[in-house]
Homo-oligomer: A and B are copies of this chain.
Amino acid sequence: MTTMKDVASHAGVSTATVSRVLNGHAAPTQETRARVLAAIEELGYRPNALARSLRTTATKTFGLVISDLVNPFFAEIARAVEQEARAHGYCVVLANADESAEQQTTYVRTLLDRRVDGLLVCPATDDAAWMDEVVATGLPLVLLDRSVPGADCPVVRVDGAEALADLAATLVGAGHERVGVIAGPSDTSTGRERLAQFGSALAELGHPVHPDHVVHGDFRWESGKQAAAKLMGLPDRPTALVAMDNLMGLGALEQVRELGLSVPGDVGIAVYDDQPWFPLLDPPLTVIAQPTVEMGRAAARCLIALIADEQPPDVDLTARLVKRGSCGETGRG
């Protein structure tokens, strides 16, 4: 590879001058500037980002740690983060934790070692030992989607309380007596919050969720399927299922179909998270839609602000209910 030294000698100047030209300093003459640029062009020189970063202690890179890339919810976020980062001249190193806390810790360490300029993390669980290490280095950090107890950094999250209340009302209005909930892991903030908010909304309407009608999954397809199997196998089975994540929802739908039940005829289904193709499902799913693109964007902007030594506030977006009839709400309510 050609280095700055090559360019310098080729242009008959010192490396300092080449560097100044490269970084747009005022100093160099139009004439030397031209000579240097010509040399760069001629040699096909490209600066070594590693060397530059080592010297400047800036990598123009974000680390993005997400818990599951095949979950379209996270894929959309990742895409949005990447777009916003790119617009500001940053690259994104992607780390897929596969919903594992250890994997996540390992990755955070790797990203620290690589001296990323900032870290965006969707925490896999509440266990935030990794956070201490990050805080110790003073690296800008933003939490995304899920928060963790005692976190001392900006958090970008989505408030689903209202949407869940709307959903509860819709379900009750559609005549559902017993609502089964396929909740997320109770060691994630979203797992806990969604369940709590939805539960209290239903309780307020006089239809509290029966403890047996709550099953915890792990935000993945298979767990949703199993949860649905369990719930629908109960003697007093639910008349509607609410899955607190899109993959679990799809798993539940698959299970219900395999049981030969019709939706919403035999059982209603609603799902947290929306996808462009949800209207094409059989039946089109009633969902709680989160502004994923806005989440990713906001998180990236937040991180950029942190890097600029500003003190960005938390970002709270809101989810909203989208009715498509899979709870029988058009037919009945």
- A-side residues, CB < 8 A to B, are 1, 44, 46-51, 53-54, 59, 61, 69-70, 72, 75-76, 78-79, 82-83, 86, 91-96, 109-110, 112-115, 133, 136-137, 221, 250, 253-254, 257, 276-277, 279-284
Contacts and interface: CB of A to CB of B under 8 A. Distances in A.
B277 A115 contact: no
3 smallest CB-CB distances across A and B, nearest first, come from: A282-B282, A94-B94, A49-B113
Contacts of A61: 93
A272 B230 CA distance: 35
A324 B195 CA distance: 36
Contacts of A92: 93-94
A53 B48 CA distance: 11
Contacts of A50: 50, 53-54, 59, 114-115
Number of copies: 2
B72 A72 contact: yes
Nearest to A64: B94
A283 B282 contact: yes
A88 to B, nearest CB: 13
Contacts of A72: 70, 72, 75
A108 to B, nearest CB: 11
Contacts of A70: 72, 75-76, 79
Given A46-B109, A69-B82, A94-B94, 15 more contacts: A44-B133, A46-B113, A49-B110, A49-B115, A50-B50, A50-B54, A54-B54, A69-B79, A79-B96, A82-B95, A82-B96, A221-B276, A250-B277, A250-B280, A280-B282
Contacts of A277: 250, 277, 281
A121 to B, nearest CB: 16
A304 B78 CA distance: 25
A69 B78 contact: yes
A41 B67 CA distance: 29
A250 B276 contact: yes
A151 to B, nearest CB: 20
Of A46, A70, A94, most buried by chain B (CB within 10 Å of CB) is A94
Nearest to A293: B70
B94 A137 contact: no
Contacts of A279: 254
Contacts of A280: 250, 253-254, 257, 281-282
B115 A48 contact: yes
Contacts of A136: 44
Given A75-B69, A92-B94, A250-B276, A113 B47 contact: yes
A91 B93 contact: yes
A170 to B, nearest CB: 22
